[in-house]
Amino acid sequence: MHDEGQYLAIDIGNQRGKAVLFEGAVIRERMVFASSDPSSLVSRMKEWPAIPPVAISMVSRPGDPLLPFLEQNTRLLQVNGRSNVPLAMGYHTPDTLGADRLAAACGAFSRFPGRNLLVIDAGTCITIDIVDETGTFLGGSISPGLAMRARAMHSFTERLPLADAAADYSLVGKDTHTSLGSGALMGIVTEIEGRINRLNNDFPGLLVVMTGGDVLTLCKKINFNIFVMPDLVCWGLRAILLHHEIIQN
C-alpha cells in the first residue's frame, strides 16, 4: 500500500465541487469550484508535472472538460454504490446509494476504525448514516437540508418569506422571519439530537462524525460531542484509492 503517495480526491456536489490533493496523509492543496464549471480545476492540474490517481464522487455530473481530461491523463476511479470499498455493505439498494454518502462513511471509518459511527453530511440534504464497529455500512436517513427547508416553506405558501438559511437563529423565533429560520435550523438540530439519543442505545460508544456545507452552523447548536471533518468525503475517496491499491497488488 503506497500510503505516502499522491492522490487526488474530487467531490462533486449539487452546486459546489471540491478537490483535495493528498501527499500521504497530508493535504497539500484544496480547491473549490462550481460543479457546473470545473475549468479552474482543470487549469490548475495542467500546471502539475503529472496527475496522480484520482477518485471522484458525483452527485451531479460536472461540466466539461473535467472527466475527459482525467480519463486521458491519469488513472480515474468513479466511485458509486457498487464500488469495491473498505467497508462491508449492509445497504439493501447499493445501486441507489450516493457516492458521497459511501465515501463519507469510508472516511469516518478510516479515521476511527473499530468504532460505532454516526456519519452526518449536512449539505443540500441531511444524510445520517451508521457504520458499525465491524466496518459495515448499515444505512440511515435522508432529509431536507437547511436551505431546502427554508425554500420549501417559502415556495409552497402564499405569504411566508424566504428565511436566510445562513443566519443564526435561536430556539424561539420572535417574528415570522425568525420563526421560519428557527423552524428550519432548530428542526435539523432536534432531528440530529433525537437520532443520536435513540441510536446510542443500539450502538454503544457511538461516535458522531460530521461534515458538509452547513456543519459549522449546526455543530454549534447540537448538544453532543461531535468530531467535525470538513473534508470527510475526500478523506474517504483517498481511503478507497488506497483500498484499490491493496487489492490490485
Q: What residues act catalytically?
A: 100
User: Is the Cβ–Cβ distance between 186 and 171 less than 8 Å?
Assistant: yes
Burial degree of 95 (CB within 10 A; 0-12, 13-18, 19+): exposed
**Cα–Cα distance for residue pair 175/163, rounded to 1 Å:** 11
Could you tell me which of 186, 238, 170, 245 has the C-alpha nearest to residue 26? Answer: 238
Q: Which DSSP letter does residue 43 get?
A: H
**CB within 8 A of 96, min separation 6: which ones?**
81
DSSP letter for each residue of 178-245: HHHHHHHHHHHHHHHHHHHHHHHTTSTT-EEEEESTTHHHHHTT-SS-EEE-TTHHHHHHHHHHHHHH
User: Residue 135 gets which letter from DSSP?
Assistant: S
Q: What is the radius of gyration, based on Cα positions, of the chain? A: 19
Q: Which of 79, 165, 69, 181 has the alpha carbon at shortest distance from 124?
A: 165
